[in-house]
Amino acid sequence: MAAPLRGFRLRRAGSAQKFGVAAGSLRGLLRKGCRLLQVPLAGSRLCLYEDGTELSEGFFRTLPPQTELVLLGAGESWQGCVSDVERLLAAFHSQQDAVVKAAQKLLSDEQAPRRQKLLADLIHNLQENIAAEDRQEDSKWFEGLESRFKNKSSYMRYSCESRIRSYMKEVNNFISNVHPTARDAYKRIIDLMSDKLKSAKYNGCYFDRREEEAVRLCTTEGWFSCQGPFDRDDCPCKHSINPYSNKESRILFSTWNLDHIIEKKRTVVPELAEAVKTRDGREVNWEYFYQLLFTIDNLKLVHIACHKKTGHNLSCDKTKIYRKRKQTHEIS
């Protein structure tokens, strides 16, 4: 059941030359348009010439024939043909590019490290695109990332999830060190923790700027501040970073650590194993250990300079290792 063909007027973002193309679906129109205008299909989209609205399959079906469209390649964008604000922004953008180019030219001949750094930082700061969220708005940000990542927030979310997942993996790996008689009980706790983690989506919310303020570690713009060494309340150096701003910041952010205040490997996991081994009829308060391992109750986001790798010499709260006895629980 092929949909009837309808004609449209296509052009590239930079050109006034228009082409007539007929298709019955958005996919078909994209395919034909890309072939005709010699644009790689991957990452290409169509939007209204009028105001830049991007076409979805559903929206496409509502369009009258001969609608004026712009065919965008990966990373290109079209803001629409009219708005004064858009013109102003476009003008500003082209100026900014000129400034960046000039700075880059100066930088290429610069020998003195200090001036090199100043220029590089300037370029770096001008090339931010913090507001952009989707791949097509800021394709540079996504360079080197797998194609499945469609917007910045979901990638940042993913990167947080994988960090947290690796903590769970470490709890798993510790099984071999758990006393044989305690292994089954330890495994049961692993299962409980895994389920809770899954339902919490591996706490990916920490890095996701779209999340509610209460659960994210950044501002709505994506700014993260270093929370300082594990044994201080603040960061003496006032480190901050916005991994959403550009590729370099994104990569740099991966050197920031989620530091366990009470250390995971040296303390929390061994103490959990010990608690399981010597529980002696009591019920291990696995949710306390969950907090210590996977939540910001015990995690600090720190710049690498504030990440002390020395022993923290902290131990778990002994009063929280086991559940209160059943009786007291039932009375309350």
- 295 binds DNA, rule: CB under 7 A: no
- Between the two ends of the chain, the Cα-to-Cα distance in Å is 66
Binding residues among 157-216 for DNA as defined by CB under 7 A: 159, 162-163, 165-166, 169, 172, 198
Given a contact cutoff of 8 angstroms between Cβ atoms, the answer to whether 55 and 48 are in contact is yes
For the bound state, the minimum distance from the C-beta of residue 266 to DNA, rounded and expressed in Å, comes to 4
For the bound state, the minimum distance from the C-beta of residue 168 to DNA, rounded and expressed in Å, comes to 7
Binding residues among 99-128 for DNA as defined by CB under 7 A: none
DSSP run (H or E) holding 45: strand 45-48
For the bound state, the minimum distance from the C-beta of residue 52 to DNA, rounded and expressed in Å, comes to 23
Binding residues among 74-103 for DNA as defined by CB under 7 A: none
User: CB-wise, 172 or 285, nearer to DNA?
Assistant: 172
Given a contact cutoff of 8 angstroms between Cβ atoms, the answer to whether 23 and 32 are in contact is yes
**In this chain, which stretch among 2-10, 63-71, 87-95, 302-310 interacts with DNA, using CB under 7 A?**
302-310
For the bound state, the minimum distance from the C-beta of residue 279 to DNA, rounded and expressed in Å, comes to 23
β partners of residue 134: 151
- CA–CA distance, 197 with 295 (Å, rounded to integer): 10
- 264 binds DNA, rule: CB under 7 A: yes
- CA–CA distance, 16 with 10 (Å, rounded to integer): 10
User: CB-wise, 144 or 180, nearer to DNA?
Assistant: 144
For the bound state, the minimum distance from the C-beta of residue 86 to DNA, rounded and expressed in Å, comes to 30
- 309 binds DNA, rule: CB under 7 A: yes
For the bound state, the minimum distance from the C-beta of residue 154 to DNA, rounded and expressed in Å, comes to 8
Among 9, 247, 266, 277, binds DNA (CB under 7 A): 266
Please tell me the chain's helix, strand, coil percentages from 3-state DSSP, rounded to the nearest 5.
45, 10, 40
The token pair at 99 is 């400034």
Given a contact cutoff of 8 angstroms between Cβ atoms, the answer to whether 302 and 236 are in contact is no
Binding residues among 136-155 for DNA as defined by CB under 7 A: 144, 147-148
Q: For residue 72, which phi and psi values (nearest 5 degrees)? A: -105, 135
For the bound state, the minimum distance from the C-beta of residue 122 to DNA, rounded and expressed in Å, comes to 25
- 133 binds DNA, rule: CB under 7 A: no
- CA–CA distance, 245 with 125 (Å, rounded to integer): 9
- CA–CA distance, 83 with 137 (Å, rounded to integer): 19
User: CB-wise, 18 or 312, nearer to DNA?
Assistant: 312
User: CB-wise, 21 or 292, nearer to DNA?
Assistant: 292
Given a contact cutoff of 8 angstroms between Cβ atoms, the answer to whether 147 and 139 are in contact is no
- CA–CA distance, 198 with 195 (Å, rounded to integer): 5
Contact string 232-261 vs DNA (x = CB under 7 A): ----------------------x-xxxxx-
Choose among 321, 293, 22: nearest CA to 164. 293
For the bound state, the minimum distance from the C-beta of residue 290 to DNA, rounded and expressed in Å, comes to 16
DSSP-derived secondary structure letter, 65 = T
Number of residues engaging DNA in binding (CB under 7 A): 25
Given a contact cutoff of 8 angstroms between Cβ atoms, the answer to whether 70 and 46 are in contact is yes
Among 311, 318, 327, 332, binds DNA (CB under 7 A): 311
Judged by the rule CB under 7 A, the positions of this chain that interact with DNA are 144, 147-148, 159, 162-163, 165-166, 169, 172, 198, 254, 256-260, 263-266, 307, 309-311
